[in-house]
Structure 1
Amino acid sequence: MKFTHPIISIDELQSILQDPHLILLDCSINKVNQKLDENNIQLIPNSYFLDIEHRFSDQKSELPHTLIDEIKFTKEAQFLGINTDSIIICYDRWGIYSSPRAWWMFKAMGHPNVYVLNGGLVAWKNAKLPTTKTYLPIENIGDFQAKLDEQWLANVNDVLDAIDQSSIKIIDARSTKRFNAEVDEPRPGLRKGHIKNAANLPFEMVLNDTSFKSEQELTELFKEFHTKKELIFSCGSGITASILALANHQINPKQTIKVYDGSWAEWGKDEELPIE
């Protein structure tokens, strides 16, 4: 089973719940200044937990949420029982927040059959479907082998090269006030402002509260960028940039999209990098 778009509905998920290749991943992380209620956890049944904050982020990096290398990614994915032929459905308990980051990570590591549940647990509960309080125990080690596909990933040098290229656009998912240097950054030690020549599209703009907006609405939001050869998405630490990357890929799958993994946590710290 392969879905035609990366964002899938509750009905589409229900259509494959009995598929032995299905891997359902809760990819939830805490938001800035807002934490999940771990004492009253609710999950879609038969979920595994993909730990973005710890197991799937480089703990040796000075930057938050840095993508781990191929060897460690292979090990962690296999530990979740993920195989080369797995159908991976990512969701989070907020609705849409960190699940697109997991989608992007698997894309970047060469797994094509990965999707995000639109609305996540919120949509599941709104459909009056059953929940559970426990994750599925790991029974088998998978055979997935990560292979980095660099067309999904941008580093600081890629962004520097892109600044003055008319065929590439850098899009910042942070709030307009952060983009325009009107407020301090939530992480200490970072400059205010944005990457030179970047555009601003706050990630909330592609959402209707806890779900993605319609494809027609997304097309309108991204229309000024559709002629670009490549889009590079940035944010604070690579989480909400992935929301924009997924939204754009839903409506324009042939356009090259990259997530700047270091994002403002890296750019805002280096005094030599150009900002506005």
Structure 2
Amino acid sequence: MFKSTTSKLALGVVALVVVAGYPAYRYIFGATVVDVDSTEQAQKIEDYANPAAFTTPLQLAKMMKEDDKLIVIGALNPAKGDTPISGSFTFWRGDYSAQKSAYDYGGMRNTADEMEDLLSRIGATPDSPIVVYAANKHHDAARLYWQLGLLGHENVKYLDGGLNAWLGAELPVGNANPTVEATDYVAPNKNETKLATIEMVRNAITDDDWVIIDTRGTDEFDGTSVKSGAYGPGAIPGAVHINWTKAVNEDSTLKTAAELKALYGDLIKGKKVISYCQSGVRSAHTTMVLEEVLGAADVYNYDGSWIEWSHAFYEEGREGIEIMNGGKS
């Protein structure tokens, strides 16, 4: 189902590698091109609990031709130099994250009002069908998916395989961020039904009805490394470690429902779930998988994640906030 392909920019890449080396190639041309069997991909999605939450590159290309109200949003890091899907709009984390003055730490989502303004600028309405995508790891698309859910925007799809699979299907790129007439987007149902707060997490630690999933890398979970933005090493007590990447294939597409049930099913059966990572991005991907692929009913993404929790422990010494796999120096 997966096969790497050679970029049409091969000659330019060779020249760049000669001059600057392979790391520069990965930095500038960050989206790996992958071939995905579209028939198998579509069938896989049909087996998900909510297939309407996902789409394939070929399905998206068809929608873009047939529905002029469709809005496609790429969560793409401009520093990587990825060429966006033609006709899509591009955001990056600074666009949908909280202002620096809003919290004593970073990584939090922006407000619903700020999201409304962002969507108004790209001509969205509450009835607009929206497709989100990213490149390579795709958790940033899941973060946008989650934040749109907090607005109550119902018609949102995640592009399986993202820009990588789109490129593999040789679909058009470039000519992004079209000029459109602004709207006055009003969220249909602002809510926090998919949001975990620090208080919820603290209570869940000692409640057998809950399970907390740490979706970070092993080195973060076991306290041997600390990502920039966090205030010290460690993990939330009692958390079960399942790296979010275990839910995806080598080609970055999602695994089958059967595979994901084998990964998460016994752990979450009969439980309410909180997922967390460094700043609620990777955990948003796990939240989406548990909800939309496996049909879990009570799944919450901890927006503050390790940044907020470590700030509360290391900086504030807040009562009731403890850690494992780390400690105050």
Number of residue equivalences: 265
Is 1:205 the equivalent of 2:246?
A: yes
> What letter is aligned with 2:55?
I
Cα offset for 1:11?
A: 2.9
Is 1:253 the equivalent of 2:300?
A: no
Distance 1:115 1:255, change over 3 A: same
Larger gyration radius, structure 1 or structure 2 = 2
Which of 102, 117, 122 is equivalent to 1:80? Answer: 122
Residue equivalent to 1:159: 201
> What letter is aligned with 2:169?
A
Residue equivalent to 1:23: 71
Distance 1:143 1:177, change over 3 A: closer
Distance 1:215 1:231, change over 3 A: same
Is 1:149 the equivalent of 2:191?
A: yes
8 Å contact from structure 2 (residues 84, 90) kept in 1: no
SS at match of 1:98: helix
> What letter is aligned with 1:25?
I
Distance 1:50 1:144, change over 3 A: farther
**Distance in 2 (alpha carbons) for counterparts of 1:14 and 1:83:** 21
8 Å contact from structure 2 (residues 152, 188) kept in 1: yes
**Distance in 1 (alpha carbons) for counterparts of 2:212 and 2:299:** 10
8 Å contact from structure 1 (residues 80, 142) kept in 2: no
Residue equivalent to 1:274: 322
**Distance in 2 (alpha carbons) for counterparts of 1:194 and 1:115:** 31
Is 1:190 the equivalent of 2:257?
A: no
**Distance in 2 (alpha carbons) for counterparts of 1:231 and 1:246:** 12
Distance 1:74 1:134, change over 3 A: closer
Residue equivalent to 1:239: 281
**Distance in 2 (alpha carbons) for counterparts of 1:196 and 1:95:** 27
8 Å contact from structure 1 (residues 74, 146) kept in 2: no
> What letter is aligned with 1:7?
F
Q: Which runs of 5+ in 1 are unaligned?
A: none
**Distance in 1 (alpha carbons) for counterparts of 2:51 and 2:245:** 24
Aligned CA RMSD, in angstroms, stands at 1.9
CA deviation digits over 1:54-97, x for unaligned, max 9?
Answer: 22111123333312222222122211211111111000122523
Residue equivalent to 2:152: 110
Cα offset for 1:218?
A: 1.1
Query: Mean alpha-carbon deviation: is it higher for 96-105 or for 62-71?
Result: 62-71
Give the 5 Å matches for 1:213-232: 213-232=255-274
**Distance in 2 (alpha carbons) for counterparts of 1:95 and 1:185:** 20
Which of 48, 57, 67 is equivalent to 2:97? Answer: 57
Residue equivalent to 1:5: 52
**Distance in 2 (alpha carbons) for counterparts of 1:228 and 1:172:** 19
Residue equivalent to 1:36: 80
**Distance in 2 (alpha carbons) for counterparts of 1:159 and 1:258:** 10
Residue equivalent to 2:45: none
8 Å contact from structure 1 (residues 6, 246) kept in 2: no
**Distance in 1 (alpha carbons) for counterparts of 2:134 and 2:269:** 32
8 Å contact from structure 1 (residues 95, 123) kept in 2: no
**Distance in 1 (alpha carbons) for counterparts of 2:230 and 2:177:** 38
**Distance in 2 (alpha carbons) for counterparts of 1:189 and 1:151:** 26
Distance 1:12 1:249, change over 3 A: farther
TM-score scaled to structure 2, two decimals? 0.75
Query: Mean alpha-carbon deviation: is it higher for 4-13 or for 114-123?
Result: 4-13
Structure 1 runs of 4+ with >3 Å offset: none
Distance 1:213 1:142, change over 3 A: farther
Which of 288, 303, 307 is equivalent to 1:265? Answer: 307
8 Å contact from structure 1 (residues 194, 275) kept in 2: yes
Residue equivalent to 2:32: none
SS at match of 1:5: helix
TM-score scaled to structure 1, two decimals? 0.89
8 Å contact from structure 1 (residues 6, 249) kept in 2: no
Residue equivalent to 1:45: 86
